[in-house]
Amino acid sequence: MKVKLASSYGFCFGVKRAIEIAEKYEDSATMGPLIHNQNEIDRLKTDYNVGLYNNLTDVKPNDTIIIRTHGIPKNDLKDLRKKDAKVINATCPFVTTPQQIVKKMSAENYSILIFGDQDHPEVKGVKSYGEDQDDVHVILTADELDNLNFKYDKIATVAQTTRKKEIYLEIVNKLILKNKEVRVFNTICDATFENQDAARELSKEVDVMVIIGGKNSSNTKQLHHICLENCQDSYLIENAKELDSSWFKDKNLCGITAGASTPDWIIQEVVNEIEKY
């Protein structure tokens, strides 16, 4: 089986930065999963003894705590800094940006609209920076705008960093038509654009697509969805163990892309396995 990699794939700047930070602070712990890739989290635990805390109550005196790439809610960060622990903030700078935008625009009496998944840790963190939580609204589609009541006639909108720009444009266009003043901030990450565009183009020319990344990763699921638009034989896996030889029967060319939290060593293992078919 021939294999072709997308022109852009895998680790983004924010994830690379977080991994480097975690490797620097051995015997530390992350507040929530550092990135959305269990295999890499397991490697950090094995090689650097980087543990995982899910609650502030887990924190013990003199602990070194690393804030995950997606960030944490404002009050959680505030409470964590009060504890007798060393806090290292590995929140991706592209995630910190919408946090600060929401804080600033909310203080200037703008209603806040976030395009994203309300259950995603990044969105929970961004939402927490709004002064009036009842006037911070989170949606995934333009249709949901019909059910919203904004406090002000001025709206500021940001997007989860890994969302599709086409849907954000739909939301923004509808928002502009219905409101007097709209401030639009494009907070979707450039690396997300590049990986999505590369996956889209590759999926048009191959017989089968394999997308490598965490099943709970928003950007990886987006890549899978994009590939399915052009190649129905598109499969999302976390590692080489999940490959199924039947996917490649009577196929000639396999395209591969990977989410922003997928390390090179996992990608190479998948490539090596597929080339055997």
Q: What is the pLDDT of residues 77-92, one digit of tens each?
A: 999 988 888 999 999 9
Question: Mean pLDDT score of the chain, rounded to an integer?
Answer: 94
Whole-model pTM?
0.82
| pLDDT of 84 | 85
Q: What is the pLDDT of residues 58-69, one digit of tens each?
A: 999 899 999 999
Of the chain, the percentage scoring pLDDT greater than 70 comes to 100
Residue pair 248/209 in contact (Cβ under 8 Å)? The answer is: no
Q: Known catalytic residues? A: 122
29-53: per-residue pLDDT in tens? 999 999 888 889 999 999 999 999 9
Q: Tell me if 273 sits within 8 A of 235, measured CB to CB.
A: no
pLDDT at 28: 96
Would you place residue 183 in the very low, low, confident or very high pLDDT band (cuts 50, 70, 90)?
very high
Helix-helix angle 218-230:190-203, to 10 degrees: 30
Rounded average pLDDT over 158-183: 93
Model pLDDT, residue 101: 98
End-to-end CA distance of the chain: 5
Which pLDDT does position 87 carry in this prediction?
A: 94
pLDDT band at 219 (very low <50, low <70, confident <90, very high): confident
Q: Are strands 51-53 and 234-237 parallel, antiparallel or unpaired?
A: unpaired
When pLDDT is cut at 50, 70 and 90, the band that residue 203 belongs to is: very high
Averaged pLDDT for residues 245-256 = 94
Q: Is the pLDDT of residue 149 over 90?
A: yes
